[in-house]
Amino acid sequence: MNSSKLEQLGLQLIATEEGLTLTDGTLSLRGDFTEMQYRLRPSNLHRELLVRAAKIKHPDPMKRPLAIDATAGMGEDALLLAAAGYQVIMYEYNEVIAALLEDTLKRAQTSGTELSQIVEHMTLLCENSMIALPELQNKADIILLDPMFASRQKNTLVKKKFQLVSRLEAPCDNGEELFQAAKAASPGKIIVKRPLKGKTLTQENPGYSISGKNIRYDCYVL
């Protein structure tokens, strides 16, 4: 997306000392994995709903299991999976969001903290996952789907983030197509992140779900 198209949306991408930033002049969005470090502590990580949902039976002790984050966004979920021991491939089709995430990864790589080791296991591809998934050569242990849905959370920061991102892409209206693309990749499990009281992404019923206060993870074991 070139700068003129961003301007039409009332947005700008600017390079600051803190990192690449998306702004409308009032609200700003910049990736920062350091804000998640407390969640990556072993005492906290195992409590994460996503980490619990991502557990697989009989993992190969000689290699990291493979996770595909088909809707990477700002990479927070992928970071949790990488910290939990997965090799993660992230797909993000929106080039502005992908640029923000790429900058976040680069800053984490040079942070001199545990983040630099974790992000070594994260690979970003700026591609449409619905096209890429059916053509995957390597079978993934899990595929995560987190299509954007209208935010109803009361957290002010979440609302601000949603306001900016929603100008770049609309809430998902092709959930069934996305799910079937993931299914065509024949993973061991598909995990779908949904609003707590939201409908399932697909007409198929999950094998089980893990729920929190605001969200749930629908798990489809294939």
* ∠ Cα 178 52 97 (to 5°): 45
pLDDT, position 8: 85
CA 45 vs CA 40, 41, 183, 222: distances in Å? 5, 6, 27, 25
User: Residue 113 corresponds to which tokens in the numbers above?
Assistant: 């903290």
Q: Is the pLDDT of residue 161 over 70?
A: no
Instruction: Please state which of the ranges 6-15, 43-52, 150-159, 169-178 shows the lowest mean pLDDT.
Output: 150-159
According to CATH, the topology of domain 3-221 is Rossmann fold (3.40.50)
CA distance 59 to 141: 9
Q: Is the pLDDT of residue 77 over 80?
A: yes
Q: Using 50, 70 and 90 to split pLDDT, how confident is the model at 2?
A: low
| Structure confidence by residue, pLDDT tens digits, 15-51 | 999 999 999 998 899 999 999 999 999 999 999 999 9
- Mean pLDDT computed over every residue of the chain: 91
DSSP codes, 61-87:
TTSPPEEEETT-TTSHHHHHHHHTT-E
Phi and psi of 199, rounded to 5°?
Answer: -70, 160
pTM here is 0.92
As a whole number, mean pLDDT of residues 126-140 equals 94
Instruction: Please state which of the ranges 159-163, 171-175, 198-202 shows the lowest mean pLDDT.
Output: 159-163
Which percentage of the chain shows pLDDT scores above 90?
A: 74
Following CA atoms 178, 160, 20, 44 in sequence, which dihedral angle do they give, to the nearest 10 degrees?
Answer: -70
CB-based contacts of 9: which residues, under 8 Å, 6+ apart? 167, 168
